C-alpha cells in the first residue's frame, strides 16, 4: 500500500481551476480499485491519497496522469508500507487497470 501526500505548489486559483479534472482522475482510479481513500489535508495545503494493490512503477504512471502533476501544481511524496492489520469493517478492493 501507499500513502501519497500532495503538497500544493501552485496558486490556490490554479488549484481551483484544475480541481474538477483532478476529481475525475480520482474517480477513475477509485473505480479501478487502486485508490481506497482520498481527501484534503487540514489546513488545506494539499491532500492525501491511499493506494493499494499496485506496484510502484504503475503508481508512478497513475500519478503522472493527475492534472495537478501535469500542470505542476503539486509535489508528491509517496510512502510505501505493508498493511499488517486492517479493521474488520474495512474492505480493500483488488485493483484492475482502467
Contact of 63 with 10, CB cutoff 8 Å: no
2-80 in CATH: which number? 3.30.70.1060
Each residue's pLDDT expressed in tens, for the chain with a length of 98 residues: 999 999 999 999 999 999 999 999 999 999 999 999 999 999 989 999 999 989 999 999 999 999 999 999 999 999 999 888 778 777 766 666 66
pTM for the full predicted model: 0.88
- Domain locations along the chain: 2-80
C-alpha 69, offset from chain centre = 11
DSSP state for residue 92 in the 8-state scheme: P
Amino acid at each position: 500500500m501507499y500513502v501519497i501526500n500532495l503538497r500544493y505548489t501552485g496558486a490556490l486559483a490554479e488549484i481551483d481551476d484544475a480541481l474538477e479534472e483532478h476529481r475525475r482522475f480520482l474517480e477513475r482510479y477509485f473505480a479501478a480499485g487502486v485508490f481506497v481513500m482520498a481527501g484534503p489535508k487540514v489546513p488545506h495545503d494539499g491532500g492525501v491519497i491511499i493506494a493499494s494493490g499496485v506496484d510502484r512503477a504503475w503508481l508512478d504512471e497513475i500519478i503522472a496522469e493527475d492534472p495537478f502533476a501535469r500542470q505542476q501544481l503539486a509535489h508528491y511524496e509517496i510512502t510505501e508500507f505493508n498493511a499488517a492489520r486492517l479493521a474488520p469493517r474495512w474492505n480493500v478492493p483488488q485493483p484492475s487497470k482502467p
